[in-house]
Amino acid sequence: MIQALQRDLGLTAEQAESRLLNESRLTNVEARIRKQLGSRYAGSWLSGPTSSTLTVATSDSASTSSVSGAGVQAKVVKHSLASLDAAKEALDRASRKVSTKSTPVWYVDVRSNAVVVRTPQVADAEGFIAASGADRSAIRVEVSDEAPRPLYDLRGGEAYYIGSGSRCSIGFPVTRGTQGGFVSAGHCGSTGASTSGFNRVAQGTFQGSSFPGNDYSWIATNSNWTPQPWVVQNGANIQVAGSTVAVEGASICRSGSTTGWRCGSVQQRNSSVTYQEGTVYEVTRTNVCAEPGDSGGSFISGSQAQGVTSGGSGNCSSGGTTYFQPVNEILSTYGLTLKTTGGGGPDPTGCTGYQQTLSGTLTSNQSQYQPSGGSYTANAGVHRLCLDGPSGTDYDIYLQKLNGSTWTDVASGTTPNPDETVTYTGTAGTYRVRVHAYSGGGAYTLGLTKP
């Protein structure tokens, strides 16, 4: 939270810490004063970069003596909070009978001691207020072009529609820089095709698509849609922590918009399969069933993304065989970053199967840089990290890239566990891994695969 406050509010770390401490203390003070004022209470608010001042409004000048404490000040206003709430409720009731498309926002603003109606059409706002019967003296109209819209989450396995026709399933939410989107199957749509979401709301456009030969695509979405590190499991959210490739024979599950959540095991990697349209190479074969509409959906093993549903045979009534396009190839091809929780999940059991296996020993609150206190040069593509820390500790990893003379964190695994996995798709450059013992100490193993 401190890091987010620094980024989004422009604070220093010290200011962010002070802000949180002040908010905790003054929230308790505010609750006491509000109770003392009762019906005379007219709202309260914090101000200052560190939330150092609490202002409490009252509709009774004689009650200001009840407003006391370090960092607390009183303000005498005309309307009590109860009267403002009553005016707002009158507007709410009216909105159920008259159109509010031209007056889309109204709220109680305790700072200005008014109910604010925001609108680009003042005459429409006045008509709305008159129809409500609310106390006009308590309402202020503000001219505004604000046009709120609903926001939706991108989740692996959910339906999306291509143009006005076919349906496929989201593979995994991704980002490319500040652009959000998701990966799916290539046979679902061609580059330039438009998509809408599960709710038929406009969603995005295919930025790249390859089929046959490969069977993958990526879709960039508009600002209504937010990528989340989730795969849908019968309505619940399964968290995606990385994209470490599962060993043949491992359990694997698939999420799709036709048949939902189905599981089986990894049969063979590096398979080739010929469809009517042509051959697709280097897909993974599974005994998980699927049906039309599941195409593009998520294959996941534990918390690790595996790939997107390509095709297969059979169905989910009699059983079947399904192939998926490995997700790491898609990420590398299009320069995408998988949306993840940043690590966690089951113990990575020694972090085997990586290009390099590194080790070290830490004490609590100590850091080491790998490989061997130095750095490594990488091509553009996917970095995979796996940390196996001592049981009962909290170890974290940070992938850092050299920008000029400064090292910058580009990915991290910071769960409260000893083990972390991180997958990052980056540009060519110089990188290093910082291993940090947040609490506890002992020997660790670090697996590293670089592009």
Q: In what order do the strands lie in the sheet with 236-239?
A: 152-156, 225-233, 236-239
Could you tell me if 82 and 116 are in contact, meaning their C-beta atoms sit under 8 angstroms apart?
no
Q: Is 109 a catalytic residue?
A: no
Q: Pick the catalytic residue: 44, 66, 215, 303?
A: 215
Q: Please give the Cα distance from 307 to 51 (Å, whole number).
A: 46
Q: What is the 3-state secondary structure (H, E, C) of the chain?
A: CHHHHHHHHCCCHHHHHHHHHHHHHHHHHHHHHHHHHHHHEEEEEEECCCCCEEEEEECCHHHHHHCCCCCEEEEECCCCHHHHHHHHHHHHHHHCCCCCCCCCEEEEECCCCEEEEEECCHHHHHHHHHHHCCCHHHEEEEECCCCCCCCEEEEECCEEEECCCCEEECCEEEEECCEEEEEECHHHCCCCCEEECCCCCEEEEEEEEECCECCEEEEEECCCEEEEEEEEECCEEEECCECCCCCCCCEEEEEECCCEEEEEEEEEEEEEEEECCEEEEEEEEECCCCCCCCCCCEEEECCEEEEEEEEEEEECCCEEEEEEEEHHHHHHHHCCEECCCCCCCCCCCCCCCCCEEEEEEECCCCEEEECCCCCEEECCEEEEEEEECCCCCEEEEEEEEEECCEEEEEEEECCCCCEEEEEEEECCEEEEEEEEEEECCEEEEEEEECC
Rounded to whole angstroms, the Cα distance separating 218 from 425 reads: 14
Of 187, 210, 217, 388, the active-site residue reads 187
d(CA 274, CA 83): 71
What are the Cα distances from residue 155, in Å, to 3, 165, 206, 237? 26, 21, 17, 8
Which residue has tokens 């296996």?
A: 357
Contact (CB, 8 A) for 378 and 428: yes
Catalytic residue among 295, 298, 303, 412: 295
**How far lies 129's CA from each of 90, 173, 435, in Å?**
9, 43, 60
Active site (annotated) includes residue 187: yes
Per the annotation, the verdict on 295 as an active-site residue is yes
**Which sequence positions are flagged as catalytic?**
187, 215, 295
